[in-house]
Amino acid sequence: MSSIGPYAASGVGRPSLTRALTESRGQLDDLLVQLSTGKVSQSYAGLGAGASSSLAMRSRLSAISSFGATASTVTPRINLMATTITRLDDIAAEYKLTDPNEYTLTSGSVTIAQSQASVDLQEAISALNLEVGGRHLFSGRSTDVKPVISADAMLSDDGAKAGLRTVISERKLADLGADGRGRLDVSALSGSSFTVSEEASGPFGFKISSLSSEMTNAVASGPAGSPPGITLGLTGQPQAGEQIRVGLTLPDGSTETVTLTVKDPADTSALGEGEFRLGATAAETAENMRTSFDAALKTRASTDLVAASAMQAGEEFFNVAPGAEPARVAGFDGVYATDADRVAALQSATGLTSTGTAARTVSWYVGETGSDDPRKTAAATVDEGVGVAYGARANEDGPRRVIQNLAVFSAMTFSTGDADGKARYSALAGRTIERLGASETATDLQTMAVDFASAASTITAAGKRHAIAKDMAQTAVSGVEDVSKEEVSLKILALQTQLQASYQVTANLSQLTLVNFL
């Protein structure tokens, strides 16, 4: 049979009718799949030249999703850390309102303010032991370790390890000395003068820092010598109201002034601190001066010095450099026949030791320590080439100062029968208020808060960039992978019409014979 037109069973450069119908049917099937899925192809191979663009955009979307997951994990941590630091700052600031002269003791031999400090200490510790998803946020790299021990464990002894109260007690003995004069020697009167000198060089007790006089016929020389000393006395009678001032530096770096004031013998009112009456002779007046100074010295030792000693003991207990050991009074670990021997050894100590003290002293911070930037102990990548550092250690200066001062303030006890108790409490409270409200405490805490805020801001900015990039990538993917259902529907209708015509032609051809043709 001769071939007829392009639908011959065979022919050079002409598709067979069967193949044409098969291809058209395949195109219809593809269009139907596109209509149902909305996608150009079910595989990247079907995307042609758009495959590489689709793969690149989907990779970008995957990265954005990963960065978003990281941000979702890290952001709550940073926000909680910032809240903790803000709370510590608020606690410290609240003590500016504390009245250092409000001396009402509770059943626990502490004042109401001290009781509140104990509560605040526990709150501060709890805040620094913050845990999110099994991760302690203020423990540096040791995220599985609760960084700060409890308040009770911090203050009390633990077997052979001394707690804060013991460390304060040791330092108090060393600073007061055996006679309670703060390691100063006050000589007997020689003629019409006497000397006041430091017992020995070392960190303990009072240090004579200055001497000034506006008193007629006064002897006031020094400080001079090694160890330093001063000479006080008279060459004749002074005038009522005239003064000599002796400046003293205390262990915590604070200063106090003992003021000696001449009082007219006609004034029979009780003598105040440092006041002395004119005697019948210059020698008698000088003895009155010496007695007054000695009494004032003992009072200042029992009050201001004890408070300063406690503050310094707290500094040595809490502020320990990475890799170092806490400072303790030399001789604290000696072997003594009696407790009295131990006390005597501490009262005559001339220095501190930092050798072998870690094993004998309670560690208040048990998280990871290091000399590197605490922020770098935890980091997260939130965008291509963009990371945030948000680690922290509870022994950083800001949190440490809050814990330290609350602990020292709440550690000391008082008794109603102690004549110097109120003045000692006032000295302690005044120092606590000053330290908690000091600019360096606020600055250190606010610096940490700024670091966390900066990290949060970086994450927020990255999130905004990701939102824009995500929209662009999704649009690009859609442009390559998605189809217009309206367009596909038109193509299907056109192809169906074509197929219907082809089937009709096929049907007619199948009935065509040479006889019918003729």
Q: Report the distance separating Cα 285 and Cα 237, nearest Å.
A: 7
Residue 43's pLDDT is what? 47
**Which ranges in 242-301 belong to alpha helices (H)?**
282-300
Give the pair of three-digit tokens for residue 103. 């001396």
pLDDT of residue 45: 47
| DSSP H or E stretch at residue 234 | strand 229-234
pLDDT of residue 1: 44
- At residue 20, does pLDDT exceed 80? no
pLDDT given at position 64: 86
Per-residue pLDDT tens digits for 477-496: 555 555 545 554 655 666 65
The Cα–Cα gap between 102 and 119 comes to 18
* Alpha-carbon gap, residue 450 to 106, rounded angstroms: 40
Q: What is the pLDDT of residue 65?
A: 86
Residue-wise pLDDT tens digits, 265-320? 999 999 999 999 999 999 999 999 999 999 999 999 999 999 999 999 999 999 99
The b-or-e profile of 209-236 (16+ CB within 10 A means b, else e) is eebebebeebbbebbeeebebbbbbbee
pLDDT of residue 3: 46
Rounded percentage of the chain residues whose pLDDT exceeds 70: 80
What is the 8-class DSSP label of residue 133?
T
Q: Is the pLDDT of residue 24 over 90?
A: no
Residue 352 in tokens? 């501190």
**pLDDT tens-digit readout, 355-364:** 999 999 999 9
Model confidence, pTM: 0.85
Tell me the percentage of the chain whose pLDDT exceeds 90. 76
Token digits for 239? 């005038």
Q: Which residue has the tokens 């189809």?
A: 483
Whether the link from the prior residue into 227 is cis, omega within 30° of 0, is yes
**Tally of helices (H runs) and strands (E runs) in the chain:** 13, 14
| Region of 323 on the Ramachandran plot (φ > 0 left; ψ -120 to 50 alpha; else beta) | left
- The reported pLDDT for the residue numbered 478 is 52
- Under 8 Å between Cβ of 375 and 387: no
How far apart (Å, rounded) are the C-alpha atoms in residues 180 and 200?
A: 15
Token duo for residue 280: 């019948």
Across the range 408-425, mean pLDDT stands at 96
Mean residue pLDDT of the chain comes to 88
Helices (H), 301-391: 306-318, 339-347
Between CA 392 and CA 370 the distance in angstroms is 11
pLDDT in the model for residue 514: 55
pLDDT value, residue 28 = 55
What average pLDDT does range 98-125 have in this prediction?
96
Whether 23 has a pLDDT exceeding 60, the answer reads no
Cα–Cα distance measured from residue 376 to residue 52, given in angstroms and rounded to the nearest whole number: 38
434: Cβ contacts below 8 Å, ≥ 6 apart:
none
- Starting at the edge strand found earlier in the chain, the sheet holding 218-224 runs 184-186, 193-198, 229-234, 218-224
Backbone angles phi, psi at 262, to 5 degrees: -75, 135
Mean pLDDT of 4-23: 54
pLDDT at 340 > cutoff 60: yes
* Rounded Cα distance, 318 and 302, in Å: 24
pLDDT 10s digits, 36-80: 555 555 444 455 545 566 666 667 788 788 899 999 999 999 999
Average confidence (pLDDT) over 489-505: 62
